[in-house]
Amino acid sequence: MSQVRVRFAPSPTGSFHIGSARTALFNWLYAQHTGGKFILRIEDTDKERNTPEALQHLIDGMKWLGLLWDEGPEVGGDFGSYFQSERKDVYQVYLKKLRDTDRAYDKDGAVFFRLEGDRYQAYDNFKKCEVEKVKAEPQVINDLVRGKVERAEEQDFVIFRKNGEPVFHFVNVVDDICMQISHVIRGEDHLSNTSKHCELFKAFGHTPPEFAHIPLILKSHGSGKMSKRDEGALIDEYQSRNFLPAAVRNYLCLLGWSPKDDREVLPIEEIIQLFSLEGINKNNARFDEKKMSFINSEHLRHLPIDEFINLAKPILTAAKLIDENIDTDYLNSVLKICQEKVRSIDDLPSFCNYFFNEDFDFNEKAKNKILKKGEPKSRLTELLNAIEKLEKFDQVSLEELVQVLAGKFDVNTGAYIHTGRLAVSGTNAGPSFYGMLEVLGKEKTVNRINRLLEII
């Protein structure tokens, strides 16, 4: 097989949408899987809607997701320019080719593509009048996702507007020819355009590329395709909420593709190895932000500790929990035990604030739940007395201590763990109880237990 060359050809008119990101990702994955080239091509001929700000959003979003391109803006390549607005001379050359073979003609100020086939008059229900139609040969599209699709165009169609600008169908085909695109991977909503594109490819004497029309992404609730107005639809939302790009990328892979073994959390290296166009599902994929959040928490949990610490520091600094004078060893110890349990980087300040604040508030719901069971004051007093006598203050010694107390006073270890956790953290959830005590140290643990004993 000759080298795979795929392209992502967005029109930068706003923020970077989840659907566009998934299309870019599937193209990038296929290029990575096959050792091919991934081209970024900008469809910026709509002067009124395309903006430099939207283009920068797009480029920043792709870089954040790790979808780096082999050819295109900022990196160049042998087939530039990669901006359609800079390719007008190329489009005129190809328009002349159609005129020279009588496949293009002027009508009402626009330029139309002439289909081949017998012509006849028929009533058009939409236009409410007689129109000329063509018995054109059906275009057979052996789509790598959808299977065999046959579509026939019935009417000549516009390829240059009245204002002289080329339309999407024309520039798309011309650029795919010029850039030697081997596979066109795009949303299923473009399938209806493909017969027009095949007509143009054949008129230019070129074999169409392979097509793979991937399923649509449906909104979380209700029916219909996910739009830019739907909650969770924009990539920059996840950037601002400190999602891990690897997690977002992982989740996007699952919107229309799966490794076929029920796994959801995978490293990108394995996804690249497993990915294939034949493995893409036909059914539309429903967006589920809860699942993305779960995948994000799993990636966060398995992040190398140095990377986790580097992500956490600015978040905790912005929350005014730490400053440049923080004890680095203490901070690192806190983050090591929090990494296993925290669901997102944004949750970290509320999750671990008591490590950096002696005057923390008690969660009233947790407090009422814990203190109404058994004899919490007795359990806390017993725990305090035992801890004060403890010489080696580490997880192993603390766990043994609690087990001994539970046996001595004939109660569950939870009676000490729940009241002890409430005393030192103000809540009933968090990292490992014994790990938390070890990190806080004996002095802070004793002081905090005394603080709760004074108010119950």
Q: Catalogue the active-site residues.
A: 228
Vertex 429, ends 423 and 434: CA angle to 5°? Answer: 65
Longest dimension (CA), the chain: 100
CB 23 within 8 A of CB 186: yes
SS3 category, 8:
strand
* 26: nearest Cα among 44, 14, 16, 38: 38
SS3 category, 315:
helix
DSSP per residue, 273-305: HH--GGGB-SS-EE--HHHHHHHHHHHHHTS-H
Distances (CA, A) of 100 to 3, 93, 164: 32, 11, 19
Residue where the block lists tokens 């299923």: 188
Vertex 297, ends 244 and 31: CA angle to 5°? Answer: 45
Rounded CA Rg of the chain: 31
Q: Where are the beta strands (DSSP E) in 75-156?
A: 104-107, 110-113, 118-124, 129-135, 139-143, 147-151
| Cβ partners under 8 Å of residue 76, min gap 6 | none
| Phi–psi pair at 80, nearest 5 degrees | -70, 170
